[in-house]
Each structure stands twice: as C-alpha cells, then as structure tokens.
Chains A and B, each alone.
Chain A
C-alpha cells in the first residue's frame, strides 16, 4: 500500500511539473506584459501578473501598428483558409474516389512537398512574384501560403472521404446527380469535422507564416503580425511590456482556437501523417 501511495504522489508531481513546463513561457509572457519597469529590472522580478496594468493591451493596440499587423494577419489567414480548403476538397475527392492516370505521381508529389523548406523556395518565388506584380500584396501571400498548406489539407480530406461508404454516393449517382452535386450534397456534410480541422490548420499555417511575409512585403502598412513581432527581437526601442502584450495578443487566438478544435486537428494531422 505504501509503495502505491508513493507512486501516486510521484505521478501527480510529475504531471504538475510537465504542465508547469508546458504553460510557463506563455504565462511569463503575460507576467512580463503586465509588469512595471521597476518590477522587470528589480533584483527579484515579480512572479505574478499585475492585473492593474491591464491597460497595456489597449495601449499596444491603440498606439502602435499592432492592430494593423493583426488585421493583415487575419486577412491572410482567412484568405488562405478559404482558398486552400476550397481547392483541397475537390483534390481530396479526386484522390479518394477516382482512379486516373498520374494518380500515383500526384500522391508522391503531394508527400514530397512536405519536405521542401520555405527558405529554399523563397528565391524562385520572389522572381515569380516580381514578374506577376505580387510583391507587396496580401493576395500574393494568400496564394503562396495556400499552395504550401494545400497538400496536407488535401491528404487529410482524402483520408476523411475514404471513410465514407461508397454506397451512399452510388445512391446519389443513381438519382442522376452529377459528381459535383454528389460531393457537395453527400460527402461534404459527412466530413464536416475534417473540413473544420483542415480550416484550422490552414488558418494557423498562414497566421504563423514568416519567411514569405518578411521577403515579399516591404510596405510597413501591409506587414502581418508575424513579421512585426519578429522585428521586435533584438530591437531595443519598444518597451518590453508592449512587445510581450502584442505577442500575447498574437498567441492567444492561436491557442484558444486550437484548444477548441483540438480533437479534430490531432486526428486529422495524424491521419495525414500516416499517409506519409
């Protein structure tokens, strides 16, 4: 009995340590945002957020360019989400339900793209963007981000459609429905959770994207938050509280959204990964 007790206590302590490690950096972001200069640079820093200084978030949004950054990020992320899921659904459907020439090649290409670093592709894409006047444009970022997240979106949706019994479709087809109608009326409602998961994945792929944004956008007005926040690193002009407040506002929706959709995202990610 005694051994059992000890084991239980050790387990509880271990779980608490893991949770502490997992959450502490974001907690520390919040504490830093809500500390006075005195607290930050004192011999012993404060370890709890000073809720009274909550105004720092309002100031960060009102004074600086942070609100504009977050808005740009939102535009890019929503655009990428709509475009990549919109293109990924028919691609996933084609891969799941049809046999056609070049299918094997296409599947290998989709998997292959998963290992291409953005940093490698940024040079030729820069040339492409210049030729088509897509530099300094949020549309350009939506296009390139969609192309990069599209393979994983399509593979996840293919896996989801694979799970729908074909009989349901055959029924629809026998009714005289065209393939497109079969897809929209029969398949889509059934894979709604997977669509939600891919939407979340695509949204945050674009929300977090940095390399393309920092290379293709010169106009400060068009900068997304990822670039704005990255520029804070090593820069000394902005008060650290403002920096952390903006970073926290950038992080919070990602974490909150993810926690809400977690069940679907994880199963989607692993399903997509298993194909790899």
Chain B
C-alpha cells in the first residue's frame, strides 16, 4: 500500500524540495556496482576454470602431476576421434539424449492432457505427480538401484512373476537392459517438469475454439492438431531444447547407477570425461571430451534458435 501512496507524490516533492542527491560515483557506474560481486563470482568459478579446461584439452596433463602440462596441439582430439570406444560414447550419448527428449516431452504431454480436464481431486493429482521431480537425484539413483537389484529388487520379482524376468536378473549389469533402465529412471524424474510446464501452456488454449472445432465435426486428433498443438508448439520446442541440454550434462544419476557400464553401455560424454579424469587420470583427454560436449550443446542451441526463427516466419506467412 505504501508503494501506491508514493506514486501520487513524486512531482510535488521534487519541485519543493530539490533534495535530489546524485550517487557519489555517478550514475554511469551504478549498474556495475550492482553486478560486480556476482560477475566476479562467475568469473572466478566459471569463466577462469572453463578457460583452463580449454587450455588443458590441448595438452597432455595427468592427474598425478596436474601442474605440468605439455602442449600437444590437437593430439587429444585426434586420439579420441580415432578411438572406437569414443564413437560408441557419442552414439550412446545421442541415443540417451534423443530418448530423454522424446520420453520426457512425450510423457509430459500425455500426462498434461490427462490432468488438464477438470475432475475431483485434480489439485492433489497435480501435486503428487511432481514428486519425482522434487526428489534428489542421489536418492533416486539409490532407490532405482535397489528396485532393480538382481535378487531382491521389486522390478525383477514382478518381471519374474509375469514370466519376463531378465536371465540372471541383474538389469544394471546387462549390456542390453542397462541403458533402458537408466533411461526409464531419468524420464521418471523429468516427466513431472515437462508435464507441469505443458499444463500451464495448455491454459492458453482457447476453449471456444476447441468447442467450435468439435461442433464443426472435427475428430479429436484433428482438433488437437489444429488448435491445441498450435498453442503449445513453442513450449514443446523450448522443453525439447532444455531436455537436450540437461541430458547432455547429466552425471550423478548415470554415474551412481552404472558408472557408465557394463562395457560402456551407458557411457555418455560426461561419464566418459569423468572416468578419463579420475580413473585413467588423463586430464588432457578428459578436457577434450568435455569440449566436444560443449560444442555439441552450442550447436544444438544455435540450431534451435535458427529453427525457431524459421518456424516463426512460416507462421507469419
């Protein structure tokens, strides 16, 4: 309320008082005073370390003697790109990211459409559905590992009961099932976020347009495409971009469930870089792998901007 009272007063005060006191440092410097502490922080803890990583990627440096770096030019990049294991890592990363995007956005959309209709207890349902997103990743990795336990895990017990059990039962030790299991866990944790965001996007769908389409005899699918999809398209695009970037940098969940194994079956770029640095103790190669990831993210972001712009133009026409 005080704020509103102030709005009425300014002009009179300015005239009568003339108390306007210029900032001692001059207004030109004011914004820098506000942002300096934060900028310094980001410089020290993000920019400088990143620059160091870029440098490391062109050197041979080991964890055992990290202060001695030998400049080797593009050797690290040549080596990793010549390594079939790294090709597998790229492929796994690609599969993991695409599956996360499609799985999280797709599931999120289905759930959002389900929860969008009014029904009793909808508020409770919306709250409960966000639980996986709120749970800490560490706890999720722990409970997933326990549920997937070969002997006593509930998942195997259920699968066995319906005759679909994995031979030996160790899902996370199976080169075939480890990645789907990690993916299912990841999507389980992500879909609440996508569905809540899509749910708020759905509020913007004009109901009368929806009804008009239905009256016109359009089927459900046609109505969805003509009305709903047009409204939520930008949000879907944004979520796909977010899911891509988050999945490219996800570490704990995969690391704690499988450490990238078995035999590299769940080894994404970030997992590969971490084990290069701390198991193989090769900081140079690790940095090079990290740079590949950063460049991929940059390409995705730039590409998505271009696509978004093209789509906008298309829509205007």
Contact = CB atoms under 8 A, between A and B. Distances in A.
B115 A98 contact: no
A99 B28 CA distance: 10
B45 A22 contact: no
Contact of B138 (A122, A230, A234): A230
Contacts of A22: 128-132, 188, 192
A29 B139 contact: yes
Interface string A261-273: 0100011011001
A14 B297 CA distance: 36
A19 B129 contact: yes
Nearest to A20: B128
A258 B44 CA distance: 31
A216 interface: no
Interface string B237-273: 0100110010011011000100000000000001001
B290 A120 contact: yes
Interface stretch (A50-58, A167-175, A191-199): A167-175
A22 B291 CA distance: 35
* Residue among B39, B44, B135, B141 facing the most chain A CB atoms (10 A cut-off): B135
A23 B128 contact: yes
A226 interface: yes
Interface residues of B, number: 94
* Residue among B6, B14, B144, B294 facing the most chain A CB atoms (10 A cut-off): B6
B111 interface: yes
Contacts of B192: 22
Nearest to A146: B41
Interface string A239-276: 01001100110110011001100100011011001101
For the complex, would chain A's binding face be called helix, strand, loop or mixed by DSSP majority? helix
Given A40-B152, A106-B35, A262-B127, A168 B6 contact: yes
* Residue among B9, B139, B196 facing the most chain A CB atoms (10 A cut-off): B139
A20 B145 CA distance: 19
Interface string A73-108: 000000000000001101101110111100100100
Contact of A26 (B41, B135, B251): B135
Contacts of A94: 31-32, 34-35
Interface string B6-33: 1101110110010111010000001110
Contacts of B134: 254-255, 258-259
B138 A18 contact: no
A118 B251 contact: yes
B251 to A, nearest CB: 5
A179 B23 contact: yes
Contact of B142 (A113, A183, A232): A232
A273 B238 contact: yes
B37 interface: yes
Contacts of B256: 230, 233
Contacts of B52: 124, 127
A99 B111 CA distance: 42
B286 interface: yes
A269 B127 CA distance: 16
B301 A29 contact: no
Contacts of B297: 115
Contact of A90 (B9, B34, B45): B34
Given A98-B34, A259-B130, A123 B286 contact: yes
B184 to A, nearest CB: 10
Contacts of A175: 6, 9-10, 13
Contacts of A269: 193, 197
A178 interface: yes
Contacts of B75: none
Contact of A91 (B35, B50, B136, B252): B35
B278 to A, nearest CB: 8
A123 B197 contact: no
A270 B197 CA distance: 7
B38 A125 contact: no
A208 B152 contact: no
B212 interface: no
B98 interface: no
A247 B143 contact: yes
A69 B192 CA distance: 28
B56 interface: yes
B156 to A, nearest CB: 11
A251 B135 contact: yes
Nearest to B21: A176
Contacts of B17: 176
A93 B39 CA distance: 13
A6 interface: no
Nearest to B127: A259
Given A25-B132, A98-B30, A150-B38, A144 B157 contact: no
A12 B118 CA distance: 11
Interface string A2-16: 000000000110110
B307 interface: no
B46 interface: yes
Given A124-B56, A230-B256, A259-B134, A25 B34 contact: no
7 contacts: A91-B34, A121-B49, A148-B45, A150-B42, A226-B138, A243-B142, A250-B138
Enumerate the 5 nearest inter-chain pairs by beta-carbon distance, A residue then B residue, closest first.
A147-B45, A98-B31, A258-B134, A124-B49, A174-B10
Given A123-B56, A233-B145, 8 more contacts: A23-B128, A23-B131, A91-B38, A123-B53, A146-B41, A147-B41, A211-B252, A270-B197
